[in-house]
């Protein structure tokens, strides 16, 4: 028997008992031990066994590396059962959510801010768009279909969770806490279904799934657009509320002849002074000028802290930058009272071109409303206008 046939039928083959160096030269092997009778008929082969094994391995690897295509999946898979129910449910649910919420839209709930309302309602349309895109992706067997379905569920889950936490919702119908809680549970159930379903894996195999650049743009849009609208909307709502309060104040308050107000503080312009107004960062400043005396700048804000350190901070922040480099001396630093309101009075004397310039800083507090009136005045030494102005100050 040829050595090749002996080797294939030997008991010692591929075991530590085989100590022979095998050379297929046609000579017999003297260590050969027959393993038994093999009745299977063998086809003659002209290729060495190593080559046959190599070909089989390549075939196996080719089978494992089979690449799915959209055409193959559309021809060999079918959407049915629970997956059909899921796709129909997200489309109907997203449309119903828009209709129900739009029917109860009241712009006054958002501080009369259209931007803030848009920040609340635009995500609903975005979710609806993702729902339709998810259905299309599954029908077309797109690699991102499962991702889109999960993204829709995550977005709905987070929005409903936020609504529960904030608590700004009704107590009946589709906006009740119970309905939102059920929506959270269903979102978790459907997310689990998309993760473990055999049908979903057959229709969109895991090795076929991948994300495109547009998917990352969708994620960014879902996060950034609402945040940008909310930040702009809150600012817009606050401005609108401030205007309403100011308007209500003017309507409810009868000002005397010569009185001025910004909605928080009321005062009268000293005799001989002209008045101009300017708005800086939503703060209304009153600029009063008398060429023979000096200038007055007045505004108001909300402030209850009367500590020495806080007064010092305000005082230093109001000092003119150019004047701060001049030779100066703080000549008055007192706490006084006018019309029942405590106020802090600081006077700084600057040396300017062989003469004196006086800066008078005043902070008047109203404890009852936590409001403060600030004044910054520059003059050449005539200060009679200060008492005249202070005696007219009161708060709304």
CATH code, domain carrying 311: 3.40.1000.10
Residue 251 lies in a domain: no
Q: Which of 91-95, 158-162, 325-329, 379-383 has the lowest mean pLDDT?
A: 158-162
Same domain, yes or no, for 204 and 306?
no
CA separation for the pair 143, 207 (Å, rounded): 9
What are all long-range contacts of 125-129, with beta carbons under 8 Å and residues at least 24 apart?
125/98, 126/155, 126/221, 126/222, 126/225, 127/94, 127/97, 127/152, 127/155, 127/156, 127/159, 128/91, 128/94, 128/95, 128/97, 128/98
> CA-CA-CA-CA torsion for 154, 155, 161, 167, nearest 10 degrees?
-170
Check whether 14 has a pLDDT greater than 70: no
Domain end marker among 194, 219, 244: 244
Same domain, yes or no, for 111 and 227?
yes
Residue 27 is predicted with a pLDDT of: 66
The mean per-residue pLDDT over the stretch 257-265 comes to 88
CA separation for the pair 130, 124 (Å, rounded): 10
CA separation for the pair 228, 117 (Å, rounded): 13
Give the count of domains, the chain. Answer: 3
Same domain, yes or no, for 213 and 90?
yes
Exposure string for 123-158, b = 16+ CB within 10 A, e = fewer: bbebbbebbebbbebbeebbbbbbbbbbbbbebbbe
Residue 252 lies in a domain: no
CA separation for the pair 343, 306 (Å, rounded): 9
> CA-CA-CA-CA torsion for 39, 43, 44, 45, nearest 10 degrees?
-120
Residue 175: pLDDT band with limits 50, 70, 90:
low
Residue 171: pLDDT band with limits 50, 70, 90:
very low
CA nearest to 158, candidates 86, 222, 80, 244: 222
Check whether 222 has a pLDDT greater than 70: yes
> Per DSSP, what are the bridge partners of residue 371?
302, 366
Same domain, yes or no, for 96 and 130?
yes
Q: Judge contact between 127 and 156, C-beta under 8 A.
A: yes
The mean per-residue pLDDT over the stretch 277-294 comes to 92
Residue 128 lies in a domain: yes
Same domain, yes or no, for 191 and 163?
yes
CA nearest to 341, candidates 267, 259, 238, 248: 267
The mean per-residue pLDDT over the stretch 262-290 comes to 92
Residue 289 lies in a domain: yes
Same domain, yes or no, for 91 and 223?
yes
Q: Which of 8-22, 86-100, 121-135, 247-261 has the lowest mean pLDDT?
A: 8-22
Range of the domain at 13: 3-64
CA separation for the pair 227, 119 (Å, rounded): 8
Check whether 10 has a pLDDT greater than 90: no
Check whether 174 has a pLDDT greater than 60: no
Helix residue ranges per DSSP H, the chain: 3-8, 49-64, 70-76, 81-103, 114-139, 145-166, 177-196, 198-203, 213-252, 308-318, 384-390
Residue 59 is predicted with a pLDDT of: 44
Please list, in sequence order, all residues whose beta carbon lies within 8 angstroms of the beta carbon of residue 323, skipping any fewer than 6 positions away: 350, 352, 357, 359
CA separation for the pair 3, 25 (Å, rounded): 8
Same domain, yes or no, for 7 and 83?
no
Residue 127: pLDDT band with limits 50, 70, 90:
very high
Check whether 248 has a pLDDT greater than 70: no
CA separation for the pair 285, 392 (Å, rounded): 17
Q: Specify the DSSP element, H or E, that contains 366.
A: strand 355-366
Residue 249 lies in a domain: no
Residue 270 is predicted with a pLDDT of: 95
Residue 254 lies in a domain: no
The mean per-residue pLDDT over the stretch 132-144 comes to 94
Domain end marker among 209, 244, 279: 244
Q: How many percent of the chain have pLDDT more than 70?
A: 79
The three-state secondary structure class of 392 is coil
Same domain, yes or no, for 303 and 174?
no
Using N-to-C axis directions, what is the helix angle for 114-139 and 213-252, rounded to 10°?
A: 160
The mean per-residue pLDDT over the stretch 346-361 comes to 93
Q: Judge contact between 145 and 204, C-beta under 8 A.
A: yes
Q: Judge contact between 322 and 353, C-beta under 8 A.
A: no
CA separation for the pair 17, 4 (Å, rounded): 18
Q: Which of 100-104, 225-229, 316-320, 389-393 has the lowest mean pLDDT?
A: 100-104
Same domain, yes or no, for 211 and 273?
no
The mean per-residue pLDDT over the stretch 363-368 comes to 94
Same domain, yes or no, for 277 and 358?
yes
Residue 173 is predicted with a pLDDT of: 44
What are all long-range contacts of 190-194, with beta carbons under 8 Å and residues at least 24 apart?
190/86, 190/149, 190/153, 191/150, 191/153, 191/154, 191/157, 193/82, 193/86, 194/86, 194/146, 194/149, 194/150, 194/153
Check whether 128 has a pLDDT greater than 60: yes
Same domain, yes or no, for 337 and 355?
yes
Please list, in sequence order, all residues whose beta carbon lies within 8 angstroms of the beta carbon of residue 229, skipping any fewer than 6 positions away: 115, 116, 118, 119, 122
Q: Which of 91-100, 149-158, 252-261 has the lowest mean pLDDT?
A: 252-261
Output 25 or 349, whichever has higher pLDDT: 349
Average pLDDT, the chain: 83
CA separation for the pair 135, 313 (Å, rounded): 61
Same domain, yes or no, for 46 and 97?
no
């Amino acid at each position: 028997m040829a050595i090749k046939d002996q080797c294939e039928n030997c008991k010692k083959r591929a075991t530590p008992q085989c100590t022979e160096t095998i050379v297929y030269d046609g000579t017999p092997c003297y260590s050969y031990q027959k393993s038994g009778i093999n009745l299977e008929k063998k086809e003659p082969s002209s290729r060495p066994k190593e080559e046959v094994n190599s070909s089989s391995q390549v075939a196996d690897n080719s089978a494992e590396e089979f690449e799915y295509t959209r055409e193959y999946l559309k021809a060999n898979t079918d959407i049915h059962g629970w997956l059909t129910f899921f796709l129909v449910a997200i489309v109907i649910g997203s449309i119903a959510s828009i209709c129900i919420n739009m029917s109860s839209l009241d712009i006054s709930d958002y501080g009369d801010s259209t931007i803030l309302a848009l920040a609340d309602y635009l995500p609903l349309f975005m979710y609806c768009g993702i729902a339709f895109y998810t259905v299309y992706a599954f029908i077309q067997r797109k690699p991102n279909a499962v991702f889109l379905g999960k993204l829709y569920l995550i977005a709905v889950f987070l929005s409903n969770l936020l609504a529960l936490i904030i608590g700004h919702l009704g107590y009946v119908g589709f906006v009740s806490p119970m309905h939102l809680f059920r929506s959270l549970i269903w979102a978790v159930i459907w997310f689990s279904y998309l993760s473990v379903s055999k049908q979903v894996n057959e229709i969109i195999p895991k090795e076929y799934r991948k994300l495109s650049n547009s998917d990352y743009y969708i994620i960014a849009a879902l996060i950034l657009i609402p945040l940008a609208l909310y930040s702009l909307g809150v600012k817009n709502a606050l401005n609108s509320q401030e205007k309403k309060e100011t308007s209500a104040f003017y309507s409810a308050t009868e000002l005397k002849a010569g009185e001025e107000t910004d909605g928080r503080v009321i005062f009268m312009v000293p005799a001989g002074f002209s008045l101009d107004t300017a708005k800086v960062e939503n703060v209304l400043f009153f600029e009063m000028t008398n060429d023979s005396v000096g200038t007055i700048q007045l505004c108001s804000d909300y402030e209850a802290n009367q500590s020495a350190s806080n007064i010092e901070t305000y005082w230093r922040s109001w000092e003119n930058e150019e004047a701060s480099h001049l030779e100066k001396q703080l000549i008055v630093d007192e706490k006084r009272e006018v019309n029942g309101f405590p106020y802090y009075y600081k006077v700084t004397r600057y040396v300017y071109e062989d003469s004196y310039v006086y800066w008078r800083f005043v902070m008047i507090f109203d404890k009852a409303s936590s409001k403060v009136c600030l004044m910054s005045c520059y003059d050449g030494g005539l200060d009679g206008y200060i008492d005249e102005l202070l005696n007219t100050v009161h708060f709304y």
